[in-house]
């Protein structure tokens, strides 16, 4: 409801006229009142989350904090480094995250302009009127026919005085929304790096298993040949040769299945790095597994700064609190300055000289102010405040859940990684013993000192332990990747990207 006009058209206040205390007092009063009203808004909601001082798993070695920024370099694997670098630069996921961040930046720029730059419509108009006098009677008629032209241009400005901090509150919301978009971008890149590493180690584990399966085929074929030869000589029953041939077929089938799985894993990895249509030959996979690198020592409290999803949730909470303040400030009056200026020109037929035209050019400027008080909108504004307060509560709960989930993921990953490392050590030692036992049994069978059943049982025991050891090594490597990600690795909290790029 606009009810007060502070100035009218014309030079109401000239530059040489000083503004006395009588005129400045109302302005100072409004400013003091605005500051008092702004102090009535709800303070920013802070979610209290109590985290333990340490994880249950044993602490890792003291490494530099940068070890988490690009954790994949800790594996000392050039192929892995190249794949992650390529994925962050070329993969659809990385480019999609970059495009979303660019969208957020464009929205932020537009919102800041809308907050601080006045609304300045420049309106121009032109009109031509042709008047034909069909009939004219009576004394003193001055209506003239002919062509009339009118041109005008007006420049009106609307600028809200931020006496109660409404504009600053909106700016805080814009900044928090931008921060949330940035953390979502970093989280997407960190997740992509982890997915690439896990797929890479899965492919290498399958390559090792495929080599083992092919070795098992060779061993099974040798055993089948020995059994067939001894059966022809009548040294053993022919049924044992058939059994060895069946084991050979089963080993060959397992090798074929692993080969298909390895091809699928390599294709998945190519898709992750943005080269999904390239031939599989462009992605060689070495059939070897290394020991996982040590995970840096960390505390649960560091998750609040290291995890992108936690920082995004915190920014969302701050943004929701800012929107609540904006809803509360909407109850207060709005003082808007409305200066403007315009120029117009009118060309009309002359009353005194038939056929002649009269041209009039005029200019005017205004300076005024509108005071708007939302009297009848108070029920709706109160409803908006309740809705904003509910959204703040939702954001606070989401933040608390995100922190608890982050702690659970980090703690579980550390505990499971330690268990995986112990499991790998035990299975590696067992695999060495099983290999020695199988080799002795194979030589005894070839020499005729033991039967085929004994040799097959030794082989099956060795193959089972070796397969379990390979699976455990693969899982330990993938668990290390999961642990690095759970601790908030894969990005640098200090480095703010100046451009949404994967480089």
List residues bridging with 127 in a β-sheet. Answer: 150
pLDDT at residue 393 is higher than 60 = yes
Residue 62 has which token pair? 């003291």
For residues 48-56, average pLDDT: 84
Nearest to 473 by CA among 290, 314, 275, 316: 290
Q: By mean pLDDT, which of 15-19, 221-225, 228-232 is the weakest? A: 15-19
* pLDDT confidence of residue 36: 53
Task: Tell me what percent of the residues of the chain surpass a pLDDT of 90.
Answer: 38
Q: Which of 110-119, 266-275, 291-300, 330-339 has the lowest mean pLDDT?
A: 110-119
**Residue ranges of the domains in the chain?**
62-128+146-487
Contact between 336 and 162 under an 8 Å Cβ cutoff? The reply is: no
Bridge partners for 153 per DSSP? 124, 343
Tokens representing 177 are: 């929304």
Q: Which residues pair with 129 in a beta bridge?
A: 148
Question: What is d(CA 78, CA 80) in angstroms, rounded to the nearest whole number?
Answer: 5
- What is the mean pLDDT of the segment spanning 228-254? 78
- Distance, CA of 149 to CA of 384 (rounded, Å): 50
Give the whole-angstrom CA distance, residue 104 versus residue 185.
10
Mean pLDDT for the stretch of residues 453-465: 79
CATH top class, domain 62-128+146-487: mainly alpha
Dist CA 255 CA 258 (whole Å)? 5
- Kindly state the tokens that stand for 353: 């000289």
pLDDT greater than 70 at residue 31: no
Mean pLDDT comparison of 330-334, 453-457, 495-499, highest-scoring range: 330-334
State the Cα–Cα distance between residues 131 and 144, nearest whole angstrom. Answer: 8
CA–chain centroid gap for 371, Å, is: 42
3-class DSSP assignment, residue 247? helix
Distance CA 259, CA 274 (A): 23
Can you list the positions of beta strands (E) in 132-190?
146-156, 159-160
SS3 category, 266: helix
Q: In whole angstroms, how far apart are CA 491 and each of 108, 196, 300, 358, 485?
A: 23, 15, 18, 73, 10
């Amino acid at each position: 409801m606009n009810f007060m006009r502070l100035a009218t058209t014309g030079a109401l206040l000239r530059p040489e006229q000083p503004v006395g205390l009588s005129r400045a007092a109302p302005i100072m009063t409004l400013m003091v009142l605005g500051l008092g009203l702004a102090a009535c808004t709800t303070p920013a909601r802070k979610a209290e989350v109590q985290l333990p001082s340490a994880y249950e798993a044993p602490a890792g070695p003291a490494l530099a904090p940068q070890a988490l920024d690009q954790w994949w370099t800790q594996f000392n694997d050039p192929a892995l480094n190249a794949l992650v670098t390529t994925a962050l630069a070329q993969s659809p996921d990385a480019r999609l995250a970059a495009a979303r961040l660019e969208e957020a930046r464009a929205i932020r720029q537009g919102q800041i302009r809308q907050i601080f730059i006045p609304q300045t419509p420049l309106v121009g108009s032109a009109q031509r009127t042709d008047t034909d006098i069909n009939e004219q009677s009576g004394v003193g008629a001055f209506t003239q026919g002919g062509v009339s032209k009118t041109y005008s241009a007006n420049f009106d400005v609307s600028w809200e005085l931020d006496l109660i901090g409404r504009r600053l509150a909106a700016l805080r919301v814009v900044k928090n929304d931008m921060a949330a978009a940035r953390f979502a971008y970093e989280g997407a890149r960190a997740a992509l790096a982890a997915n690439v590493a896990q797929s890479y180690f899965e492919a290498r584990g399958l390559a090792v298993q495929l080599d083992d399966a092919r070795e098992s085929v060779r061993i099974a074929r040798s055993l089948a040949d020995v059994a067939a030869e001894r059966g022809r000589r009548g040294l053993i029953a022919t049924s044992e040769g058939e059994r060895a041939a069946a084991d050979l077929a089963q080993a060959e089938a397992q090798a074929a299945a692993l080969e298909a799985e390895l091809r699928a894993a390599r294709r998945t990895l190519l898709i992750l790095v943005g080269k999904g249509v390239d031939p599989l030959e462009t992605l060689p996979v070495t059939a070897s597994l290394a020991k996982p690198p040590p995970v840096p020592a960390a505390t649960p409290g560091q998750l609040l700064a290291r995890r992108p999803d936690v920082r995004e949730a915190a920014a969302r909470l701050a943004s929701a609190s800012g929107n609540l303040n904006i809803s509360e400030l909407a109850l207060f009056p709005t003082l808007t300055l409305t200066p403007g200026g315009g120029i117009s020109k009118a060309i009309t037929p002359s009353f005194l000289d038939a056929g002649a035209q009269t041209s009039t050019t005029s200019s005017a400027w205004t300076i005024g102010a509108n005071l708007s008080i939302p009297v009848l909108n108070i029920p709706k504004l109160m409803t908006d405040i309740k809705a904003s307060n509910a959204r703040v509560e939702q954001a606070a709960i989401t933040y608390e859940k995100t922190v608890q989930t982050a702690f659970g993921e980090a703690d579980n990953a550390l505990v499971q990684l330690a268990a995986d490392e112990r499991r790998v050590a035990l299975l590696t030692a067992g695999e060495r013993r099983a290999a020695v036992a199988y080799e002795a049994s194979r030589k005894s069978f070839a020499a005729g000192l033991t039967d085929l059943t004994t040799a097959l049982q030794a082989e099956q025991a060795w193959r089972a332990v070796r397969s379990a050891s390979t699976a455990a090594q693969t899982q330990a490597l993938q668990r290390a990747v999961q642990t690095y990600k759970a601790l908030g690795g894969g990005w640098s909290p200090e480095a703010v990207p100046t451009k949404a790029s994967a480089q």
